[in-house]
Chain A
Amino acid sequence: MKMKMLVLQIAAALLFCAAASALQAQTKITWWHAMGGRLGEKVKAIAEGFNKSQSSYQLVPVNKGNYTETMTAGIAAFRAGKPPNIIQVFEVGTATMMAAKGAIKPVYKLMAETGAPFDPGAYLPTVTGYYTTTDGKLLSMPFNSSTPILYYNKEAFKKAGLPDRAPSTWPELVEFAQKTQRAGYPCGFTTAWQSWVQIENFSAWHDVPIATLSNGFGGLKTEFKINSPLHVRHIGNMAKWQKSKIFDYGGRRGSGQAKFTTGKDCVMYMQSSAGYAGIKRTAKFEFGTGMLPYYPDVQGAPRNSIIGGATLWVFEGHSSKEYRGVAEFFGYLSSAAVQADWHQFTGYLPITTAAYKLTKQQGFYSKNPGTETALLQMTRAKPTANSKGLRLGNFVQIRDIINNELEAVWSGKKSAKQALDDAVAQGNRLLRKFERANR
């Protein structure tokens, strides 16, 4: 038995070698990505689609673990002189990648050098805006972007005698939550990614700055502004709601999702639009989506929400032939058909206007109600300096500083004002450190 397996393995290896040598004529392009499970399968399918669409290049996708692991692996490979051609990096790594001049080749440069057809105007500005220089040049290719929306439990709403729609403002959300609590649901809402949703997107949605210098787009001397009266008011409210369970904390990232999907605890949930498929799979009840709530007395609210997700960065140090292949792949990836399919399959946003239109034409949104909410929320107003996105160094660590401070608020150890002041002080220290290291 063992022997048989061994023989089979050798045969497979030989076959693989033969196939590989047949492909020698093709230029190999490696793509390190962080998409596991079903998303990983989809990435493979996209690569296969590209390989079939032409014969000069062979794109090889390799999963390198989660976002942080992939980024660390890429950096280590670069230090060892063997970087992949393309690497997927999450949005908070943007400032780090940008600062690595000489390690990465900006997309606009890649396209200009290879002469590949490239129209920056074809992309959705709210998606690309996060990844451009201050004068609008695209640095990395958007791949998977999403934005937080509000999910609500339709059955619970019905039982509480509420209308079949998400609350549009925070006062309304409180009112809805109290009614569902009276109808027997212990918790009003919970949130995933507290820093991303309740601080970063909260700021953009209310058109208030997260940090000075246009949220960091204007330079490295940026400082945090998340202890403004509006921020303190919102976080203070959430602390109050935590006591009455109008809000109930469920942990970092998406670990509180079960509070919503069991259908017995929280009736509303703020989570990425890309969480749609996962929620649909686990929730045994009908649910709807709505835009994030806002405070109606804040001028200029609601504006537009900002994105999260990841983009593809191109490493320096490869042959011009490989760069032509990368450029061609980016063209393929941006085509309306590939984008529309990716968007509909995953819940991530399409990156081009054409893909958005195509999805609409195919009747996807009317067949799957609630899937368009994220796009409407993203594109409802022209982004301002406060709602274009953010570009802050060391942001991976800063997000966890915010996580820690918010946890101290939810547990009643610190007041909202104190915690946000502390987050600003610690965050600024890391921003200065980043400034020093990248001067």
Chain B
Amino acid sequence: MQQRAVFSGKLLPLLLLLPQIAVTLVFFFWPASQAIMQSVLQEDPFGLSSKLIWFDNFIEVFGNPDYLNSLWVTVLFSGSVSLLSLSIGLFLALQADRIVHGAVVYNTMLVWPYAISAAVAGVLWLFLFNPTIGIVAFALARLGYDWNHLLNSGEAMTLVIAAATWNRVPYNFLFFLAGLQSIPKSLVEASAIDGAGRFSRFWKIVFPLLMPTTFFLVVVNVVYAFFETFGVIHQITEGGPARATEILVYKVFYDGVIGLDLGGSAAQSVVLMTIVIALTVIQFRYIESKVNY
């Protein structure tokens, strides 16, 4: 039974909601509407001439094999990053939850990478794996493996996935840890007394009770992998080699900011927005219904 506060009148609730509404309007609806408008125009970068061409930009985007490639790259990249960072985060949280002494030290150290921005994380990994001067690449060469992510697209993809995952694990770790600590100890202890092993305790008790946290993290991680990994890609591979790591958001940036193709870039960002909205709706409709709070 939830307690609800009831406000009389409409002015106060409106007033309280106003900041949030304002922020959403200014930072979401307004730019989004601009993108939609721009996506049906053909315009030179200076805005000197502008022509309504309806869906030509979209037709061109979907007729471009590079775009379809980018779509596939995004699925692979975002899927891997989300899955990996979630499972590693959960694994670490489970281990940290059992620590009795010095838990604070472990937790703090595990959270550190989160304080590093994606761009800096990218540079760090880039230096470690630089085929000519990177220390890890050097060690691999000693072991007889010729690492060159500048030419090998599989290695490039592995590297950006690793960097993005490393940067994201702490966030998931924190939420999972908090989720684990809110599970009543008595439940776990009771099942232990009933003879449940560690494995079945996790899958039958802990994991279901963690579902709300997991669900929230899945939604947030997918959005992260789609958008915020931009810095990692930009620093490490710039979408190369031969477009092997060109995710959708990077292509939007590239065509718009570097290529100054405003219409094409806007059309892509509208498509990207649609994809993410659709994914979020699916997650809420179909997965949330299976979550017990």
Contacts and interface: CB of A to CB of B under 8 A. Distances in A.
B238 A252 contact: yes
A134 interface: no
B97 interface: no
Interface of A: 68, 71-72, 75, 78-79, 96, 99-103, 249-252, 255-256, 258-259, 262, 265, 394, 396-397, 400, 403-405, 407-408, 410-411, 413, 426, 433, 436-438
B259 A100 contact: no
Interface stretch (B167-175, B239-247, B271-279): B239-247
Contacts of B44: 99-100, 437-438
Contacts of B255: 397
Contacts of B132: 250, 256, 258-259, 262, 265
B151 A103 contact: no
B97 to A, nearest CB: 41
Contact of B260 (A75, A250, A252, A411): A75
B115 interface: no
A387 B69 CA distance: 36
Nearest to A438: B44
A102 B47 CA distance: 11
Given A252-B238, A394-B259, A437-B42, 13 more contacts: A72-B260, A75-B46, A100-B48, A103-B48, A251-B150, A252-B240, A255-B150, A262-B133, A265-B132, A397-B255, A408-B241, A411-B242, A437-B49
Contacts of B45: 75, 96, 100
12 contacts: A75-B45, A99-B44, A249-B150, A250-B150, A255-B150, A258-B130, A265-B132, A394-B259, A403-B240, A404-B241, A411-B153, A437-B43
Interface of B: 42-49, 66, 130-133, 150-153, 238, 240-243, 254-255, 257-261
B151 A397 contact: no
B262 to A, nearest CB: 10
Given A99-B44, A100-B48, A397 B258 contact: yes
Given A79-B47, A258-B133, A404-B240, A410 B261 contact: no
A264 B214 CA distance: 50
Contacts of A252: 238, 240
A410 B244 CA distance: 14
Given A100-B44, A100-B48, A249-B151, A407 B241 contact: yes
A255 B123 CA distance: 13
A68 B48 contact: no
B243 A404 contact: yes
Contacts of A78: 46-47
A304 B66 CA distance: 35
Contacts of B66: 426
A96 B240 contact: no
A436 B49 CA distance: 11
A413 B242 contact: yes
Contact of A100 (B46, B133, B150, B254): B46
Contacts of B133: 258, 262
Nearest to B256: A72
A388 B70 CA distance: 36
Contact of A411 (B131, B152, B238, B254): B152
Contacts of B258: 68, 396-397, 400
A265 B240 CA distance: 23
A103 B238 CA distance: 31
A407 B151 contact: yes
Contacts of A102: 48
A72 B257 contact: yes
Contacts of A250: 131-132, 150
A407 B260 CA distance: 24
Contacts of A251: 150
Which of B42, B46, B47 has the most CB atoms of chain A within a 10 A radius of its CB?
Answer: B46
Contacts of B46: 75, 78-79, 100, 103
A265 B132 CA distance: 8
B58 to A, nearest CB: 14
Contacts of B130: 258
B48 A408 contact: no
Contacts of A413: 242
A438 B48 CA distance: 10
B148 to A, nearest CB: 8
Contacts of B261: 394, 397, 433
Contacts of B152: 411
Given A258-B133, A411-B153, A405 B242 contact: yes
Given A101-B48, A250-B132, A438-B44, A407 B259 contact: no
A438 B51 CA distance: 11
B130 to A, nearest CB: 8
> Which of B45, B240, B259 gathers most chain A CB within 10 Å?
B45
Contacts of A72: 257, 260
B44 to A, nearest CB: 5
A258 B130 CA distance: 10
Contacts of B241: 404, 407-408, 411
A68 B238 CA distance: 14
A397 B133 CA distance: 29
A226 to B, nearest CB: 17
Contacts of B47: 78-79
Contacts of B257: 68, 72
A393 B266 CA distance: 20
Contacts of A265: 132
| 5 A-B pairs with least C-beta separation | A397-B259, A407-B241, A408-B242, A407-B242, A411-B151
A103 B260 CA distance: 16
